[in-house]
Amino acid sequence: MLGPQAGSILVVGGTHGNEPNAPWLLKQWQYQPDDLQHSNFVLQLVHGNPEALADCRRYIERDLNRSFAAALLAEADQCSLEVRRARELLQAHGPEGVSPALVALDLHTTTAAMGNSLVVYGRRPADLALAAGIQQRLGLPVYLHEADQAQQGFLVECWPCGLVIEVGPVPQGLLHAGICRMSQLALEAALAVLDLAAAGSLRLPPALVVHRHLGSVDLPRHADGTPAALLHPRLQGGDWSPLRPADPVFLAAAGHAIPLAAVLPSRLRGEPCFWPVFINEAAYGEKGIAFSLTRRERWPLDEQALVALQGVAQALQRRQVSP
């Protein structure tokens, strides 16, 4: 018997309530399931934060996509709307939930010019294999987020395999046909990779190109916290492109440019080149992030990654065949 009781793939849209494109897609696919290219797996199409979506705000009390840390979920007196929602999503769709899902694909948008891209958290082999399979099909750049104490508790980390599809630039709260199209293309590629992995016929490329998180840089600020400079126009839209220490990154109110070298965290001095991401993402002002710095690396893929992804995909298939 196939059904949501079987192991399935969780597709989440609207984890942030001011990103309405994925929720719009989910709704269309509920009306017209054939509009999404077929997968052999059962999909659970779920709105991440319906309250925030109704209010067109990123979140009501705290960022839902920073609310999945185990310690936070376990805190008895933590009862913000988003932590309750995180628990609810896990109870309903978690790997041990009522309708268990084994893979989570979380659809996001950004005001940064990220294009169609993937975000992977940490180095779980199945995630890397899935990202490599998508990269092989569509050439999408991958932001590997790790070792960032200030940003923790991402949704997809609570499922055995999962990643974020991140598409931009698009303003918050705005429906945009091109953004919807890119989100759907990346999702369909992910489903196709999982299908092949389940069938044992997935072939991965020899390496995955990742942009590994090194750190983030905030705007210069006055003593009262208000920005004393703006992102430099030459950096705006430059996501995924090389950025060197001498390059301008901020424009002071008085009109002079501030180079990257002047604001680089000390532990990153000596790096000759960075690849910035999430440049001028509107929601990150409150997190003190004007842009993040990465290093572009080519990671050979070993058999282990493929085996890990096949394991997830075949477990998914087994559960669907004999629940």
Question: From the CB of 187, what's the least distance to a copy of itself, in Å?
Answer: 15
Q: By CB under 8 A, is residue 280 in contact with a copy of itself?
A: yes
List of E strands, the chain = 8-13, 43-47, 101-109, 115-121, 142-145, 161-168, 207-217, 229-231, 248-252, 257-259, 275-277, 291-300
Q: Is the CB of 27 or the CB of 295 nearer to a copy of itself?
A: 27
With CB under 8 A as the contact rule, which of the stretches 65-73, 148-156, 157-165, 224-232 interacts with a copy of itself? 224-232
Q: Are the C-beta atoms of residues 151 and 66 closer than 8 Å to each other?
A: yes
Distance from C-alpha of 117 to C-alpha of 143, rounded to nearest angstrom: 8
Closer by beta carbon to a copy of itself, 255 or else 272: 255
Helix axes 177-199, 21-31, angle to 10 degrees: 60
Distance of CA 146 to the CA centre of its chain: 12
Please tell me the distance from the alpha carbon of residue 107 to that of residue 11, in angstroms, as a whole number. 7
CA distance 27 to 102: 22
Q: How far is the CB of 64 from a copy of itself (least distance, A)?
A: 17
Treating both helix axes as pointing N-terminal to C-terminal, what angle do 125-138 and 177-199 enclose, rounded to 10 degrees?
120
Q: 201-221 burial by CB neighbour count: b if 16+ within 10 A, else e? A: ebebeeebbbbbbbbbbebbe
**CA–CA separation, 88 and 322 (whole Å):** 26
Comparison of 102 and 182: residue with beta carbon closer to a copy of itself: 182
Tokens 């769709």 belong to residue: 93
* 15 contacts 108 by C-beta, under 8 angstroms: yes
Give the separation between CA 103 and CA 127, rounded to whole angstroms: 9
Q: Which of 102, 190, 210, 283 binds a copy of itself (CB under 8 A)?
A: 283
Map residues 135-174 to x or -, x wherever contact with a copy of itself holds by CB under 8 A: ----------------------------------xxxxxx
Give the integer Cα–Cα distance in Å for 117 and 114: 6
Q: Residue 255, Cβ neighbours under 10 Å: how many?
A: 6
If one asks whether residue 230 binds a copy of itself (CB under 8 A), the answer comes out as: yes
Binding pattern for the stretch 69-108 against a copy of itself, x by CB under 8 A and - elsewhere: ----------------------------------------
212 near a copy of itself (CB under 8 A):
no
- The least CB distance from residue 219 to a copy of itself, in Å, is 8
177 counts as binding a copy of itself under rule CB under 8 A? yes
Task: Write down the least CB distance from residue 173 to a copy of itself, Å.
Answer: 4
Q: Does 314 bind a copy of itself (CB under 8 A)?
A: no
Between the alpha carbon of residue 276 and those of residues 43, 126, 184, 239, 297, the distances in Å are 34, 25, 25, 5, 13
In the complex, the smallest distance separating the C-beta of residue 195 from a copy of itself, rounded to whole angstroms, is: 23
Which of 98, 147, 253, 261 binds a copy of itself (CB under 8 A)? It is 253
Q: Does 33 bind a copy of itself (CB under 8 A)?
A: no
Among 226, 246, 270, 298, binds a copy of itself (CB under 8 A): 226
Q: Of the candidates 17, 232, 243, 247, which one interacts with a copy of itself according to CB under 8 A?
A: 232
Q: Mask 115-134, x = binds a copy of itself (CB under 8 A)?
A: --------------------
Residue list 53-72, contact with a copy of itself (CB under 8 A): 57
CB of 17 to a copy of itself, least distance (A): 12
Q: Report the interface residues with a copy of itself, using CB under 8 A.
A: 24, 27-28, 31-32, 35, 57, 111, 169-178, 180, 219, 222, 226-227, 230-233, 236, 251, 253-255, 280, 282-283, 285
